[in-house]
Amino acid sequence: MLKKLFRHDFAAIGRHMWLFSIIVFATTALGCASILALENIDFDQTSAFFDTIQLILTLTTVMSFLAIYAYAIIGTVNIFKRYYNNLFTDEGYLTFTLPVKSSQIFGAKILSAIAWLLLIGIVEALCFCLFMITALPTYAISSLLNNFGQMITTAAEAVGVFQLVIYIIEIIVASLATVIYQIVLVYMSITFATIIAKKHRMITGVLMYFVSNMLVSILITVLAAITTVISSAFFTADSLTHEIISAEMHVQLIQFFLLYGGAATGIYFFNSFLLKKKLNLP
């Protein structure tokens, strides 16, 4: 059932997002064309016509660049709006009469949000790359790529290829944990605001998000500080070797993942409980 819920939710978000994705690619193409035109047209001629053209092309470039940011904002808002509409408006009458558990409904919402945020990230990265390829000269791009390659090589030589791969995996997993934490926190804030507030649900939800985020962040910082103090008690500055520093970095990343992953899990169960036991659709 989770798979079916995910499939339908992913498609429902996609009904708007595919169109936005096509639009953002089109505006990026337009922006790139404007950059090429600005580079290739001779604007030295003193003519009002050329001044106007230059202004239009510059504005098109700026607007298409801003469209990429707008796409990310619209996409994120669309995902959270879908959660609210599908669960707490009239659509909730269908969603909550499906033969599935509340935790499965919530799980599918999280999975589709992760999938769409990743897709939005990929579309944005592609658009930025297109801009970069168009705007930068070839030597600058190859210099950038060379520097990136050198950075990876230096890191691999310093810690070893295996260690570097482990670091990258840990960073990806820890980042994913924070993304999931943010998603479930926003969802929980929306649920809580819908249950407790009869009016001004949006403001209540936003306040709820900031307050809970602050409280969880304080808790995580305190826990992280305690574990750092404990682990640093086992060695002195003189005993710091390359291996110890490397091990300490692994501990920090794993700790980061565990704390945010733990917070996300706790919020997941709390929100599932709210949806099952406290939700009363009007």
Residues of the shown chain interacting with other proteins in the complex, contacts defined by CB under 8 A: 1, 4, 8, 11-12, 15-16, 85-86, 90-94, 96-101, 277-281
- Residue 46: what residue type? T
User: Cβ of residue 204: shortest distance to other proteins, in angstroms?
Assistant: 17
**Least distance in angstroms from the C-beta of 25 to other proteins:** 21
The residue among 60 and 191 lying less far from other proteins, judged by its C-beta, is 191
**Residue closer to other proteins, measured from CB, 90 or 243:** 90
CB 91 within 8 A of CB 85: yes
Q: Which residue lies nearer to other proteins by CB, 5 or 174?
A: 5
Smallest separation, CB 26 to other proteins (Å)? 21
Nearest distance, CB of residue 98 and other proteins, angstroms: 5
CA distance 280 to 264: 24
Nearer to other proteins, 60 or 95 (CB): 95
**Residue whose CB is less far from other proteins, 13 or 180:** 13
Cα 45 vs. chain centroid, distance in angstroms? Answer: 46
Q: How far is the CB of 87 from other proteins (least distance, A)?
A: 12
